[in-house]
Amino acid sequence: MARRKRKNQKAREHFYRKPIMIFALILLFVFTGVGVTYFGTAYLYSTVNPVIDDPNFYIKTLTTHFFEDNDAEMMIPIILCESHFRHYDKDGNVLVNMEGSSAVGIAQILTSVHPDPKILKRYNSMSGTNLSPEDLDVTTFSDNLRYALILFKVNGTKDWACSKKVGLSR
């Protein structure tokens, strides 16, 4: 009888131990796979992801869509000429004109002159808006594009030297 008890007890221990071992192996495989996937992906993005490495990665697409959506397709070749679709330098700072002018950003807006209250007043009367120079910071990507559109709507392309180079003076 004692022998049978020991045998049954060993069988129960083996029976209870087996699922725990299987569960432990499953957890090991799952966590190892997830860990490798997570850390492998993090490593991959930190070393070769162009979005992280290039602050201007989506700028061309956003700029093109912005001007197409606002019926200002003429600005696209001008922006290409002015900044090559870059708003940031390689360090992530706002692109500044290297020839000494106060031009900044993707549309190379002159910060010494713009945003000009007279231009904004004309634009406000044309479009029914109420913008002031304080509403626009041409060093930011979105406001640089917005103000470039305002300049285009009010003055055409004459504010950009590149408009003459690409033959789009208007």
pLDDT tens, residue by residue, 133-154:
999 999 999 999 999 999 999 9
* 82 band by pLDDT with thresholds 50, 70 and 90: very high
The answer, yes or no, to whether the previous bond of 115 is cis (omega within 30 of 0) is yes
Residue 5 reports pLDDT greater than 70: no
Instruction: Encode pLDDT of 32-50 as tens digits.
Output: 655 555 545 555 455 555 5
168 vs 79, residue with greater confidence: 79
- Report the range out of 7-11, 24-28, 46-50, 74-78 with the highest average pLDDT: 74-78
| Residue ranges per structural domain of the chain | 2-48, 59-165
- The answer to whether residues 72 and 64 touch, using CB atoms and an 8 Å cutoff, is no
117, with CB counted inside 10 A (0-12, 13-18, 19+), is exposed
Q: Which residues sit opposite 104 in a β-bridge?
A: 96, 109
* 170 band by pLDDT with thresholds 50, 70 and 90: low
pLDDT of residue 99: 85
